[in-house]
Structure 1
Amino acid sequence: MSLSSHVEELKKKHLSLSQRVEEAQRTPSFSDAELVELKKQKLRLKEEITRLSTV
């Protein structure tokens, strides 16, 4: 897998997590702890994308 295709896959995962976070925020029964974990995963992906894009 090339670097650019890897970055694209990470971007797709980031977008998917963004959508899940938005959905979770609209769902009153969604656990705050789960929401925090989703946001952490999203941030880790964003950091990885940034790191790989600057190489």
Structure 2
Amino acid sequence: MTGQEEANEQVQLELARLRQEHRDLDAAIDAMVSLGTADSIQIQRLKKRKLVLKDRIKQLEDQTVPDIIA
């Protein structure tokens, strides 16, 4: 396996981990809202974490897609 292939594999693993964490946060937020068990500050913190994850996922996805010059 070349260094590039190994790096790409690492990126794919990180993407999978971040996507799972994003889904878990989404489920946690939905559960808290539906049960009414969380205060708005806690929900806002989780939503902010979700946005950070989304940004990082987008960065990694951009890394894995080759630039195409039109």
* Same-fold call, TM cutoff 0.5: yes
Deviation at 1:27, TM superposition (A): 2.3
Per-residue Cα deviation, 1:1-55 (whole angstroms, up to 9, x for no partner)? 7110011000000000000010111122311000000000011001100111001
Which residue type is aligned with residue 62 of structure 2? T
When normalised by structure 1's length, the TM-score is 0.91
Equivalences for 1:2-41 in 2 at 5 Å?
2-41=10-49
Q: Tell me the SS of whatever aligns to 1:9.
A: helix
Q: Relative contact order: is structure 1 or structure 2 higher (C-alpha 8 Å, sep ≥ 6)?
A: 1
Q: Which has the larger radius of gyration?
A: 2
When normalised by structure 2's length, the TM-score is 0.73
Structure 1 stretches of at least 4 aligned residues deviating more than 4 Å after TM superposition: none
Q: Tell me the SS of whatever aligns to 2:37.
A: coil
Q: Tell me the SS of whatever aligns to 2:30.
A: helix
Question: Which stretches in structure 1 are left out of the alignment for 5+ residues?
Answer: none
- Counting aligned pairs with the same residue, the percent is 22
| Number of residue pairs aligned between Structure 1 and Structure 2 | 55
Question: Which stretches in structure 2 are left out of the alignment for 5+ residues?
Answer: 1-8, 64-70
